[in-house]
Amino acid sequence: MRFIDAHIHLSDPDYSEKIDQIVDDARRSNVVSLVSNSMNYETSLLSLQLANQHKGLVYAALGIHPWNAPKLAQDEVKKTLDLIFQNAKNREKTIAIGEIGLDPQYAKGKQKRELQAKVFHEMLQAAEKLSLPIIVHSRWTVPKIMEILTSYNLTAVLWHWFSDPIELLHQIVERGHYISEGPPTVYSSRTQEIIRRVPLTSLLTETDGPINYYGPFKDKLTTPAFIPQVVKAIAEIKGIRENDVAEHILRNFTSLFKINL
């Protein structure tokens, strides 16, 4: 079986001394693709560097995370957008704009919310112009983001670590978007309910490392080696063979990001 980690923050400072371990864990676990999601200009540069160093395994998603959007240096959005436009044609390295989105937790007050929204719109405009998929952070903002996305002609959308409202899942699926879930699939009843409701044809796996988890992953460094356990849990929830789950997710990944594995 071949596995996918569609959302990991390889360029996060917490991983800076552990990249070799992460890559080794991925290879040993037969995780054949990692998407290094970025959070600002600096991590976007590093994601590109890692994609270059580990061609065919690591791919870069470039962008500005909503937690950074309200506190950016004056020219950081422009620098990040320039970087995206400069590298968008190299689909062997750059396959998406991400992680982008909205999150009121990181934007207290009207001015910060407006800044966060402005950055999100600029990232969406770039994705539309470049025909790049987007990877969306949507905590507490799913209805608003769904409304915003109707104003853009986007090639593909991945809702990373979707959690709620479950009632909107069918609309996301009907729009042809994808959802990625990670280690909580193994132990969280909420995530397991989402897995039950999302068709396998709309599902991807992720770790969102370096974030830490509970259950069997408690006190462990988050690596792509967690993905086979996620796939096993999905198979049990859906009553499908693990191999079939892994193959579906692989096909979803290549279809979403338009790459060959």
Confidence category of residue 74, pLDDT binned at 50, 70, 90: confident
Contact indicator for 132, 155 with CB cutoff of 8 Å = yes
Predicted local distance difference test score (pLDDT) of residue 100: 98
**162-207 per-position pLDDT tens digit:** 999 999 999 999 999 999 999 999 999 999 999 999 999 999 999 9
Q: Kindly report whether the global pTM for this prediction surpasses the value 0.95.
A: yes
Predicted local distance difference test score (pLDDT) of residue 61: 98
| pLDDT over threshold 90, residue 52 | yes
| pLDDT over threshold 90, residue 106 | no
Domain 3-257 part of CATH 3.20.20.140: yes
Confidence category of residue 107, pLDDT binned at 50, 70, 90: confident
Average pLDDT over the chain reads 96
Confidence category of residue 108, pLDDT binned at 50, 70, 90: confident
Coil, helix or strand for 134? strand
Q: What span, in angstroms and rounded, lies between the C-alpha atoms of 80 and 185?
A: 33
Coil, helix or strand for 32? strand
Predicted local distance difference test score (pLDDT) of residue 30: 98
Locate the domains of the chain by residue range: 3-257
Q: What proportion of the chain, given as a percentage, has pLDDT over 70?
A: 100
Q: What span, in angstroms and rounded, lies between the C-alpha atoms of 78 and 73?
A: 10
Q: What span, in angstroms and rounded, lies between the C-alpha atoms of 49 and 229?
A: 29
Predicted local distance difference test score (pLDDT) of residue 70: 82
Q: What's the mean pLDDT in 43-58?
A: 97
Predicted local distance difference test score (pLDDT) of residue 33: 98
Predicted local distance difference test score (pLDDT) of residue 73: 80
Q: What is the DSSP letter of 241?
A: -
**114-160 per-position pLDDT tens digit:** 999 999 999 999 999 999 999 999 999 999 999 999 999 999 999 99
Q: What span, in angstroms and rounded, lies between the C-alpha atoms of 198 and 195?
A: 5
Q: What's the mean pLDDT in 97-115?
A: 92
